[in-house]
A and B are shown apart, each in its own frame.
Chain A
Amino acid sequence: MTSALPVIDATVPRLPSLEIDGPLAAAWLEEFLRDELVVRRGIHNAVVGLSGGVDSAVTAFLCARALGPEHTYAIRMPYRSSSPDSLADAQRVIDALGCRATTIDISPAVDGYLQYEPEADARRRGNIMARTRMIVLFDQSQKLGALPIGTGNKTERLMGYFTWHADDSPPLNPLGDLFKTQVWTLARYLGVPREIVDKAPSADLEANQTDEGDMGITYAKADGILSLILLGYDDARIAARGFSLEEVALVRKRVDGTHWKRHLPTTAMLSNTAINEFYLRPVDY
């Protein structure tokens, strides 16, 4: 009697891998920072707004590796309602790197404006804090002969989960093409303190706020769905890879509603020489 032939099932449908190699990613991003700062602009110093979260921690680690801790300026910018844990976690990064550090309380600046707008809701207050922090980072950079380095990741950029012309305004951004789950992988490789890698991500603009609570979905799920949306998959095909149609719809709505946030302002075109429409020169030309 012959036995049945063994059958090997292909594993489809699959999710694209979001695995990244930590050493390769770190080396690539360090060279990016050195090339853009030192080689292209002749600037040797970087300013990073250190929030206590994983994105700014990874950015500070990369800057310290690329430029040296003595050329990396970590700026903590608490508001009076910010969590003390955030300040403490930011200190862990400063201690781990031995980089330069300053703390600038943004409460007087923010409250100075808000005294005229006492009824501003949480969203407006959050935006004012984010934009105030950018004023500080750009001014500190001017003072220190440095460039501010952005910390936004690909997930929050795609979800529109940031303040326009605030978090996204620094001229260089090493993490903007890494999903949040990939930033965590890089953080573990770089040796970012575990307390920071393991805690629930939060914008810390309101008490007990978490990113995943705000977005209505976990980063793990959001990253899987986003990676498939970017590849052009329709909702049914994405759902077939382990997500509910509601989750897919939530993510797609956020992406489709925020394309404008990933662009410069819309300019009325009136000529054959409109800038960035006809007159096309690369950013590094």
Chain B
Amino acid sequence: MKLAILQTKPRKGDVSSNFAQLGAAFAQLAAEERPYDAIVLPEAALTGYFLEGAVYESSFEASVLAQRVADLWHAAPGSGRGPVDIVLGFYENAAGTYYNSALYLSVGPASHEIVHVHRKMFLPTYGVFDEERFLSRGRRLQAFDTRFGRAAILICEDAWHALLPTIAAIKGAQLLFVPSASPGRGLSRAGRLESVEHWRELLRSYAVEHGIYIVYAGLAGFEGGKGMTGSSMLVAPSGEIVAAAPALGAHVIRAELDFGEVELARAGLPLLGDLNAVLPDLLFDEELVDRVTSRSAQPSL
């Protein structure tokens, strides 16, 4: 599977210019001798992340966006040689309910199909973040089948909760897409922001624990003083970061994925199999069930 991670740096409030940039990037990718199988973009890839009330006028119906992206791909010279799958973060208008979503789109030579739409479940609403003021929460984490293997999508804070990659892996995902828009902070370490370092530690630990590929696509560019940290990366099922983009600027990561690596990693470190065996005892523990379904769910000191 030949994969591109397209680290975008959109212009806030200028969607048409951002589509034009995407068209230029598609043209670059489609011109390569060997075609890409998949292209992964960040959260809010075509609009910028911090939109406040402008999120409503910068949102798309999934089907409308899918058509527009497919048209853009078809317009790129060389794109007709085979199908390509595109993962793209966007603000979704679902009949007047708004979500922070990512779609998985399969584009054929003359047609396209929305394979899956993930709606962000954990909407950060603290500190610099204000998502739940403007958006509704997604209610389901689903794994889905692709041409290459089983996959799941987690958007940004979704992936800061270790439970979600775990559930995705239990549901069979071999490949996790993480579109993200992460404003950088923390200058104490040499060469890399603390917030980027945290992402790397989290994703490496998930990849190792579950023997899973993780494709992290980070938004880039400053938004009103807040620098989005790009740092797109591919983490192999061994936990090794096999490709990483810088924090600043637009970039493409080009990589090959071999799903045999997933099987080898799980054979060598069968933690996911062990978890499946023990999971019923954990899930149906009466104390846990009582805590998550009653008022005693509040953590006690």
Contact = CB atoms under 8 A, between A and B. Distances in A.
Contacts of B170: none
B53 A32 contact: no
B192 interface: yes
A180 B277 CA distance: 55
B227 interface: yes
A212 interface: no
Contacts of A284: 12-13, 48, 222-224
Interface string A76-111: 000000000000000000000000000000000000
Query: Which of B50, B51, B188, B190 has its CB near the most chain A CB atoms (within 10 A)?
Result: B188
B3 to A, nearest CB: 27
Contacts, number: 68
Interface residues of A, number: 23
Interface string B77-118: 000000000000000000000000000000000000000000
B50 A282 contact: yes
A281 interface: yes
Nearest to B14: A285
B146 to A, nearest CB: 35
Contacts of A25: 187
Given A21-B191, A27-B248, A35 B221 contact: yes
B225 interface: yes
B52 interface: yes
A19 B188 contact: yes
A24 interface: yes
A17 interface: yes
Given A23-B191, A35-B221, A28 B53 contact: no
Contacts of B11: 39-40
Interface in B170-205: 184, 187-193
Interface string B8-37: 000111000000000000000000000000
B288 interface: no
Interface size class, chain B? 20 to 34
A284 B189 CA distance: 29
B53 A21 contact: no
A285 B48 CA distance: 9
A281 B191 CA distance: 33
Contacts of B75: none
A21 B190 contact: yes
B54 interface: yes
A31 B248 contact: yes
A31 B51 contact: no
Nearest to A176: B225
A10 B15 CA distance: 52
Contacts of A182: 187
A23 B184 CA distance: 15
15 contacts: A21-B188, A21-B191, A24-B187, A24-B190, A24-B192, A25-B187, A31-B222, A35-B221, A280-B52, A281-B53, A282-B51, A282-B54, A282-B224, A283-B224, A285-B51
Interface of B: 11-13, 48, 50-54, 184, 187-193, 221-225, 227, 248-249
